[in-house]
Structure 1
Amino acid sequence: MTWVIFILAPPRRMLHRTMADYLLTETVDGVAILTLNRPNQLNALNRQLSAELHAAVTTAAADPAIGCIVLTGAGQKAFSAGGDIHEQREDDKKYTQADLDALGAERARGFYEIGACAKPTIGMINGLAYGGAGVLSSSLDMRVGCEHASFRFLAAAYGRINTTWTLPNQIGWPIAKELLFSGREVKAEEAYRIGLLNHLVPCAELRDKTLWLATMIAKNRRESVMGVKALLLQGLGRDLEQQWKNERNYTTSVARPAKAEDAFPDFIARKGRKD
């Protein structure tokens, strides 16, 4: 008699990767992982990357196979350094104020829609998150960071206004006021202590810890998790969109943002990284 033995391999985790020009997209066990991929520019958020990120979050939010969305940055230095100052400077030179207002509105709306995404979002904070990246990271539902994580909410230092609709909802009014008024750096330990980071782990464990949380969320019933998020946002007292609109209206009618040339003279003098 001849015996035939079949060896069954263990089930494989579902893994799918795609890449746009500036954004890496990966799917693992019902979790969409979106990686800002401009490491040589500290993942600065130019228009193209911002548009790709917004589109990817929108796609993941509509995908029934996705239960949680994770955002992170490529490299070991930065989640993101914020807006692309070189691009902003060129925009100031070639566009009218009306055009700049339209571009700013599109960018701001994209950030709002990421923050208001119906599915849970987690920031995997692998490095600095400054300026516009402070807005982005604080608009997410949760953040997991490592010892390289740091935050700066720099708008007031540059003649601009942002993050008023995100940060107070995460860490409370008194601390949010301090950080928004001063623009000082918040390092990893303090970020964890004040609730800006939900978890703080060694950098070598950052991805595993983040996916531990994200997959746990993704395994739950989508409608229940999304319902909890919707109700929590409604429970803010004034809905998130109205808070965002208040900031947007103020910055377009009362206190217009400073031009890049005036806002970032030191950076421009240093000739910071370009593509």
Structure 2
Amino acid sequence: MPHLITFEKKGAIALLTLNRPEKLNALNYATNDRLRALLDSIETDSSIRAVVLTGAGERAFSAGGDIHEFTQSVKAGIDIAVRDFCKRGQTMTARLETFPKPIIAAVNGIAFGGGCEITEAVHLAVASEKALFAKPEINIGIPPTFGGTQRLPRLAGRKRALELLLTGDTFSPKRAYEMGLVNKVVPHDKLLPTAFDLAERIIRHSPLAASRIITAVTRGMNTTIDEGLLIEREQFARMSATDDVHEGLSAWIARRRPEYTGT
């Protein structure tokens, strides 16, 4: 269902837009599956170096999971609800978190529930001044199901995360920035230009090095410091034999701009 998420290629950057504005870009099962399929395609396309993810319309990035669809799964039984809703959502956010190319969320409006969890999972995020965040799952009697009980405490700290998880209160983009959920808050009309500028500043470097950094950080966050340092060494070892390393060193010594090939 390609209409659920639009895909545009702008140079070496892919723009993905959640495209259910009439539903505040709610994440139904087909949307989650479509996002994963697009990421699979982008991963193998060497001409795409980074991804910007945003929402269609003026109101929402994503209001979260599609509650009407989720309700039918709950009525069908626990095993079906866990498989269709929780596991599917966790698989989607894990794919975003571990994706080997940088993903930048451009949060253009409401980012509730699953929309907030996407923001937590991606590598970087820019928020419009019109953005609004919330962890509202407690309002319907459930905990977050796409990773929100795990990623938000790691970003914001246990007490600040628990306040938001247990109250369901909305919070501003300014507070999201202060907690480390987003990298920058900008005027609404500057949102996509800022996200693309950030992507351009990243893709001037070696794509292999970017991938190794993402892997080291993502895997290392859930380990001890000693295990994390081992992961860092492994990622360095994988890079040290590449053409990009030799090009980067040669360019630095010659004081010229490197020309990376991603090999």
- Pairwise mapping of residues 145-160 of structure 1 onto structure 2 (< 5 A)? 145-160=127-142
User: For structure 1, which segment, 161-170 or 211-220, has the greater mean C-alpha deviation from structure 2 after superposition?
Assistant: 161-170
Q: Distance in 1 between matches of 2:168 and 2:223?
A: 26
Note closer, same or farther for the CA distance 1:180–1:97 as it changes in structure 2 (3 Å cut).
Answer: closer
What amino acid is the match of 2:4?
Y
User: For structure 1, which segment, 134-143 or 60-69, has the greater mean C-alpha deviation from structure 2 after superposition?
Assistant: 60-69
1:272 alignment partner in structure 2: none
Q: Distance in 1 between matches of 2:101 and 2:107?
A: 19
Do the aligned residues in 2 keep the contact of 1:76 with 1:126 (CA within 8 Å)? Answer: yes
- Pairwise mapping of residues 260-275 of structure 1 onto structure 2 (< 5 A)? none
1:86 alignment partner in structure 2: 68
2:236 alignment partner in structure 1: none
Do the aligned residues in 1 keep the contact of 2:63 with 2:114 (CA within 8 Å)? Answer: yes
- In structure 1, the gaps of 5 or more residues are 1-18, 240-275
Residues 1:58 and 2:46 aligned together: no
Q: Distance in 2 between matches of 1:63 and 1:34?
A: 15
Note closer, same or farther for the CA distance 1:165–1:59 as it changes in structure 2 (3 Å cut).
Answer: farther
What amino acid is the match of 2:67?
I
Do the aligned residues in 2 keep the contact of 1:54 with 1:111 (CA within 8 Å)? Answer: no
2:96 alignment partner in structure 1: 114
Do the aligned residues in 2 keep the contact of 1:145 with 1:206 (CA within 8 Å)? Answer: yes
2:256 alignment partner in structure 1: none
Of 69, 75, 80, the match for 2:57? 75
Of 41, 48, 57, the match for 2:23? 41
Q: Which has the higher contact order (CA 8 A, sep 6+)?
A: 1
What's the CA shift for 1:72?
A: 0.5
Residues 1:173 and 2:158 aligned together: yes
1:161 alignment partner in structure 2: 143
User: For structure 1, which segment, 197-206 or 181-190, has the greater mean C-alpha deviation from structure 2 after superposition?
Assistant: 181-190
What's the CA shift for 1:31?
A: 1.2
Do the aligned residues in 2 keep the contact of 1:139 with 1:167 (CA within 8 Å)? Answer: no
What amino acid is the match of 2:104?
I
Q: Could you state the TM-score of these two structures normalised by the residue count of structure 2? A: 0.78
1:103 alignment partner in structure 2: 84
What's the CA shift for 1:168?
A: 2.4
Alignment partner of 2:100: what SS?
coil
Note closer, same or farther for the CA distance 1:63–1:191 as it changes in structure 2 (3 Å cut).
Answer: same
Q: Distance in 2 between matches of 1:82 and 1:102?
A: 17
Select the structure of larger CA radius of gyration: 1
Do the aligned residues in 2 keep the contact of 1:57 with 1:69 (CA within 8 Å)? Answer: no
State the aligned residue count.
220
Alignment partner of 1:164: what SS?
helix
Which deviations, in whole Å up to 9, do the C-alpha atoms of 1:190-236 show, x marking residues without a partner?
22233222111111111111100012212211110111111112221
Q: Distance in 2 between matches of 1:222 and 1:73?
A: 26
Q: Which of the pair is proportionally richer in helix?
A: 2
Which deviations, in whole Å up to 9, do the C-alpha atoms of 1:152-185 show, x marking residues without a partner?
0122332222302221232333322222222211
What's the CA shift for 1:107?
A: 3.2
Q: Distance in 1 between matches of 2:98 and 2:181?
A: 18
Which deviations, in whole Å up to 9, do the C-alpha atoms of 1:66-117 show, x marking residues without a partner?
2211111001110000011121223334x34333232132332222222221
Q: Distance in 1 between matches of 2:92 and 2:222?
A: 23
- Pairwise mapping of residues 236-251 of structure 1 onto structure 2 (< 5 A)? 236-238=221-223
What amino acid is the match of 1:190?
R
Q: Distance in 1 between matches of 2:153 and 2:48?
A: 28
Residues 1:195 and 2:177 aligned together: no
| CA RMSD, 1 decimal | 1.8
- In structure 2, the gaps of 5 or more residues are 225-263
Q: Could you state the TM-score of these two structures normalised by the residue count of structure 1? A: 0.75
What amino acid is the match of 1:79?
F
Q: Distance in 1 between matches of 2:55 and 2:114?
A: 14
Q: Distance in 1 between matches of 2:109 and 2:218?
A: 28
- Pairwise mapping of residues 220-259 of structure 1 onto structure 2 (< 5 A)? 220-238=205-223
